[in-house]
Amino acid sequence: MLSHWRHLIFIVIVNIAAADIMKHGIQHYSFGQASRFVFITLITGTGIGLSVSLVASLFVAGLHVLADQRHAMDGHFPLLQIAGGSLVPLIWLIGAAFLLWGVRRLFSIVRWHGPADSIFAAHRLDNEIDVRAGIGSTIAAFISMGGGASVGQYGPLVHFGATIGTYIRQAFGNKTIGTDVFIGCGVAAAIAAGFHAPIAGIVFAHEAVLRHFSFRALTPIAISSITSVWFATAIFGGEPLFALDTVATDLLPMVPILLASGLLFGVIAMLFMLALFKSATIAAKTGFPPLVLALMAAVICGVVAIFVPEILGSGAVEINIIFDGGYALGFLFLLFALKLLATALCIGFGLFGGVFSPAAMIGAAAGGFIGKFMASVGFITVPHLLPVAGFAAVTAAVVGAPISVVLVVFELTQSYEFAVAAMLAAVIATFFTSLVFGHSFFDEQLLRRGIDLSRGRGDLELQSQSISHVVSDDFVALGPDTKTKDAINMLVNAKTSEGYCIGADKKFIGKFALPELLSASRQAALKQHLVTDPVVLNHDASVLQAMEVASNFVGETIPVIHHENGQMVGVVSEADIFDAYLATHSRVHDLEHN
């Protein structure tokens, strides 16, 4: 019955979105133009949804085939059995490390690309994703997961969806819809196909990637998400990723426990993210080439997997076992700790993959441990509730999308009680990590690259715009031996009060002003009346940097100097900088409010 209601919800969402976009379009276009826009929107959403769904489904199906092959090798090669475990994972991981080295060389990839790049691209007005690096990174993630690395599949699929959206826009030259919407369509389709959760896909694209709401974005994203689930279900089947048949009851007594555990889950999420960055820092400090680093991670994880094979892969199977109440108390803690360390090692040392699934398994294991520990000391808890809460809370804090993760729980479990429990823990965990650590793992990745998303699209765009676009060559330039009287005449004729002294090699020497020259001897050399340390801008400065400099500037123009050779490139005025700011603000406003 609930599935029929869910289908009804899909239809309502699409119809409301279509009605709103039509209403919005009629206000600005003729009926024919609005109809054409809606048609393009439908084609765009459907095309991206089908494309991403096909690749995502093949990606997941391929991983299942490789996992079956790894398990089959245990039976075919009994000599590989050792200490009660198997050397097969070690062999596969080493093979994956060599293949990743080949992918790096084939696609000329310096670093792997993931969701952080998708988010950054969606926040730029020239938001084009490096398609080659995106495809290469997706292949790398498939190889890592196929080899058994302790990484997730959804981060790479999200970036692949964004890459496909960008590629389709480039291929067809669609200027009607912004690239950020194409990125959102690809992201929503990837999440929807991976989890069979179309509503979560729609919300995730807006909440985690675009971070703004507009009717022009909602319609194609909703169509893309729903089309993706429909196609994946029709062609590959609709088995849910996580199975939870238990019904949660008596939720009210669990509220204090959920709120308290939410804080603990937030601490765990922060530790996980810190471990990821610490591992990458250690890898960089070693100075080893990527192949050596990947082999180190492969060997360490492969050896540990001989004794605890559950740490390998995305952890979907283990999460289902935890949801069913499996694993003993001590083993849950061991699984939690080893999964955290193994994932940090793999990602930090170059066995590329996502963090969504590992975070979910870490959270589920921590929740399972807390639940069983409380039960062992006499507390009465609702079975399976804390593993689901941990699953949602840690994942939401890591990816910065609490609403989307709660919707994933709701669509997978079809349980209102479990969704509420997940939300209680998730909002506390996310709130804590946002205060202590940052908005998400991806935001922190960008921040460590000098990109602060908290400043908004406007500042990001101004930071990416070079001041060279507003530099003017209309200024008075004189040599150092020019007489003062000649300089005064030049300024008066040019109707300006400032000029610049430049050497024969065009090097900037200083700045002169009319009021100072009027009080000087008319026969004196200009070089005797210069300001040699005026406010200046580097030639590669951004418009945002120019705004910051201009905030403390008094005068007509600011000289722009080439910082390498000292030559004067031109001048900018406060009016030029302000015009650039207004133009950028207008474009950002149109993007976020249309």
How does pLDDT run across 387-399, given as a tens digit for each residue?
999 999 999 999 9
Residue 293 has pLDDT above 80, yes or no: yes
What distance, in Å, lies between the first and last C-alpha atoms of the chain?
37
Up-side HSE of residue 331: CA atoms within 13 Å toward CB? 12
How does pLDDT run across 258-270, given as a tens digit for each residue?
888 999 999 999 9
Give the CATH architecture of domain 16-236: Orthogonal Bundle (1.10)
User: Got the DSSP string for 491-528?
Assistant: HHHHT-SEEEEE-TT-BEEEEEEHHHHHTS-TTSBGGG
CATH 3.10.580.10 in the chain, residues? 461-586
Give the pLDDT band (50/70/90) at residue 233: confident
CATH 1.10.3080.10 in the chain, residues? 16-236, 252-451
* Other residues' Cβ atoms within 10 Å of the Cβ of residue 65: 9
* Other residues' Cβ atoms within 10 Å of the Cβ of residue 224: 35
Top pLDDT among 42 and 63 is at 63
Q: What distance in Å separates the CA atoms of residue 339 and residue 311, rounded to the nearest whole number?
A: 5
Lowest mean pLDDT among 115-129, 165-179, 249-263: 165-179
How does pLDDT run across 341-360, given as a tens digit for each residue?
999 999 999 999 999 999 99
One of 1.10.3720.10, 3.40.30.10, 1.10.287.3610, 1.10.3080.10 is the CATH number of 252-451, namely 1.10.3080.10
Q: What distance in Å separates the CA atoms of residue 435 and residue 444, rounded to the nearest whole number?
A: 13
**Is 570:472 a contact under the CB 8 Å cutoff?**
yes
pTM for the full predicted model = 0.81
Phi-psi region of 174 (alpha: psi -120 to 50; beta: other; left: phi over 0): beta
Give the pLDDT band (50/70/90) at residue 19: very low
Residue 10 has pLDDT above 50, yes or no: no
Q: What distance in Å separates the CA atoms of residue 140 and residue 71, rounded to the nearest whole number?
A: 22
Q: Given CATH 3.10.580.10, say whether it is the number of domain 461-586.
A: yes
Q: What is the pLDDT of residue 166?
A: 83
